[in-house]
Structure 1
Amino acid sequence: MTGGAGFIGSNLCERLIYDYSVTAIDNLSEGKYEYVKHLTVRKDFVFLHGDILDREFLEKVMKGKNIVFHLAASADIRRSYKNTRLDLRQNIIGTWNVLEAMRKNDVRLIVFSSSSAVYGEVESNNPLEEDFGPLCPISLYGASKLANEGMVTAYCHLYGFSALIYRFANIVGKNQHRGIVVDFLTKLKRNPRVLEVLGDGRQLKSYTDVEDCVEGMIYGLRSFSCKSSWEIYNIGTFDAITADQVAKIVIDELRLKNVKIKHRGGVRGWPGDTRKCILSIQKLKSTGWAPKFSSEDAVKRAVRTLRRVYFGA
């Protein structure tokens, strides 16, 4: 697994070791070894410090493997807006390296983490299905994920790969280090009287508990038939809430009073941010999976987990 010490990767490692022997790699630029340290006592888990930009390293790691879960990526939309090389190197070239290492080692099944960012800015009020198009991302991150999807399906067609592609909504929960919940916790720790919300607060999105996300990935894998070259699944929830609602949940969970909410950055907040994103999850539900938590409950659970990191309680 690439990105094995990251947010979703570390949670996925904890789940996969019940069914698989797992080798997790991470360059620890954003992931943390402490997220998976407790797993290293197991004989069926190995952690290696390495980078997907190092093709020689990848080719050695891939030997004898059956499946690659490719989660390593640069996922900071605001940062890539300022540094346009980030997503090109980490996401596009990194994914090409992973695919090439698989090809040379005859590993033919990849599980790829994509993003709802591939859909871009969509005005429709209907949940977006996997066959929605045309796909017009508005961030370099979304563009890189869409390019990666194209590379993955091309390798399926050209070299006999099979692939599961998961388009994630906003995932929240244990080991999270980026995103709206972390942003709000960081700001409120610095100043518990004022909370700055980027955008007008009306951005409407789904928030998915990381446990639901991981279970969805497992259900998709179990139902996948390698007779089909690839499948694309959305992973999200059945509802959505606004940024201002997220702010209120965080404030309430921290039991703060008289917090003033200020908005900054216009209607969008930052370049590349989509104002609305609601995914249809009907296709993945057909495998037997369903999210346990609503967007509101997912955010509440994330705050209860992460406040120990930021507030020590």
Structure 2
Amino acid sequence: MELTDARVLVTGGGGFVGSRLADRLVADGNDVVVVDDFSNGRREWIPEGVELVDADLSESGVADSVVDPSFDAIAHLAARKDPNDDDPRGQFVENTTMTHELLRAARDAGVTNVAYTSSSTVYGEAPRPTPEDYAPLEPISVYGAAKLADEGLLSTYAHSHGFTVWNFRFANVVGPRLRGAVIPDFIEKLRDDPETLTILGDGRQEKSYLHVDDCVDAMCHVVESAGTVSAGDEAPRDEASNGESAMYTYNLGSRTTTSVDRIADIVSDVLDLTPEYEHTGGDRGWTGDVPRMRLSIEKLSSLGWDPTLESDDAVRRAAEELREEIR
């Protein structure tokens, strides 16, 4: 699909990745509509000139009022994201409900191109590097379970309703506008107390990090490239049963990993501080945290795309950007 002169609905377009995707789509000459209830995002992150619908997609009737036949594609990024959500049932129900309602409304309106932001959490504690065809998928958090359930809904609409779906399983994405994650958390803690930094877990948790600019570029590249090679080539399409639609699943990440202690070192260096570290203990930061994650990105690379920044460099650039942004 060409992402030029297209009309695209971006759900969660006021959030961290969603607003950066909206920026990119506008810059590339697309007509963008954002729907967001700003439970995670901010109004000031919405690009100038973009039509905004302030609404909660999990509420009855909202998706029907937003989706119409004028859209060429939907980028679905809206979700409750807090891994420590004190209402796990509510998180699961809300996330899966908004996805189901959105897909149903899209089917009724005849909008059959959907890009979805899933997560590495669908794999659970898997061997590394984890390829897209790894099974069984056994998430260990409610957030990951909801993402996997959403993937099931997307697969159903691809196989049974003629949809083309681009399903992106994210590694840890970092950069400006990031909130509620390890880098901004460390910056805020060190601004409050430059002498001591409390680190969840033992600090040895190790994961892949991808800068948000690389993330958005990879998404656009896959949407424009997946399906252009035939079966038998390096990146065959994931065929849907009717032969006319497809679901393409791609890991988005980097080939390297960075530990939490290393992130603390980088953030401290960026802030020109030398704090003492205090660890809370245990091999993970919270219930449902996967302590080690690295995704295989060979399928993505076979489409001709690789990240410009590996994990350490992505973390450093994000820390420098957030140092200026978080005051």
Q: Cα offset for 1:265?
A: 4.0
For residues 12-40 of structure 1, give each alpha carbon's deviation from its aligned partner in whole angstroms, at most 9, with x where no partner exists.
0011111421101100111000111xx23
Residue number in structure 2 paired with 1:10: 19
**What amino acid maps onto 1:54 in structure 2?**
E
Residue number in structure 2 paired with 1:40: 48
**What amino acid maps onto 1:199 in structure 2?**
G
Residue number in structure 1 paired with 2:277: 261
Q: Cα offset for 1:283?
A: 0.7
Residue number in structure 1 paired with 2:223: 221
Q: Cα offset for 1:157?
A: 1.3
Q: For the residues of structure 1 that align with 2:94 and 2:213, how far apart are their CA atoms?
A: 26
Please, which of 16, 24, 30 is the counterpart of residue 20 of structure 1?
30
Q: For the residues of structure 1 that align with 2:15 and 2:281, how far apart are their CA atoms?
A: 29
Residue number in structure 2 paired with 1:281: 297
Q: For the residues of structure 2 that align with 1:241 and 1:69, how far apart are their CA atoms?
A: 29
Residue number in structure 2 paired with 1:71: 77
Asked if 2 retains the 8 angstrom alpha-carbon contact of 1:74 and 1:86, the reply is no
1:89 aligns with 2:97: no
Asked if 1 retains the 8 angstrom alpha-carbon contact of 2:163 and 2:245, the reply is no
Structure 1: runs of 5 or more not aligned: none
Q: For the residues of structure 1 that align with 2:281 and 2:188, how far apart are their CA atoms?
A: 18
Asked if 1 retains the 8 angstrom alpha-carbon contact of 2:201 and 2:284, the reply is yes
Q: Structure 2 matches for 1:39-188, cutoff 5 A? A: 39-41=47-49, 45-63=50-68, 64-79=70-85, 82-122=86-126, 124=127, 126-188=128-190
Q: For the residues of structure 1 that align with 2:168 and 2:162, how far apart are their CA atoms?
A: 19
- CA RMSD of superposed structures (Å): 1.3
Q: For the residues of structure 2 that align with 1:266 and 1:308, how far apart are their CA atoms?
A: 32
Structure 2: runs of 5 or more not aligned: 1-9, 228-242
Three-state SS of the structure 1 residue aligned to 2:21 is helix
Q: For the residues of structure 1 that align with 2:90 and 2:30, how far apart are their CA atoms?
A: 32
1:250 aligns with 2:256: no
Please, which of 238, 249, 257 is the counterpart of residue 232 of structure 1?
249
Asked if 2 retains the 8 angstrom alpha-carbon contact of 1:52 and 1:94, the reply is yes
**What amino acid maps onto 1:117 in structure 2?**
T
TM-score for both structures, normalised by structure 1: 0.93
Asked if 2 retains the 8 angstrom alpha-carbon contact of 1:3 and 1:71, the reply is yes
Asked if 1 retains the 8 angstrom alpha-carbon contact of 2:58 and 2:95, the reply is no
1:29 aligns with 2:39: yes
Q: For the residues of structure 1 that align with 2:245 and 2:264, how far apart are their CA atoms?
A: 42
Q: For the residues of structure 2 that align with 1:35 and 1:73, how far apart are their CA atoms?
A: 17
Residue number in structure 2 paired with 1:292: 308
Q: For the residues of structure 2 that align with 1:153 and 1:248, how far apart are their CA atoms?
A: 41
Q: Cα offset for 1:54?
A: 2.9
**What amino acid maps onto 1:23 in structure 2?**
V
Residue number in structure 2 paired with 1:310: 326
For residues 84-123 of structure 1, give each alpha carbon's deviation from its aligned partner in whole angstroms, at most 9, with x where no partner exists.
233223311111111111111111111000000001012x
Q: Cα offset for 1:228?
A: 4.7
- Structure 1 segments of 4+ aligned residues over 2 angstroms from their partners: 54-57, 224-228
Q: How many residues align?
A: 301
More helix by share: 1
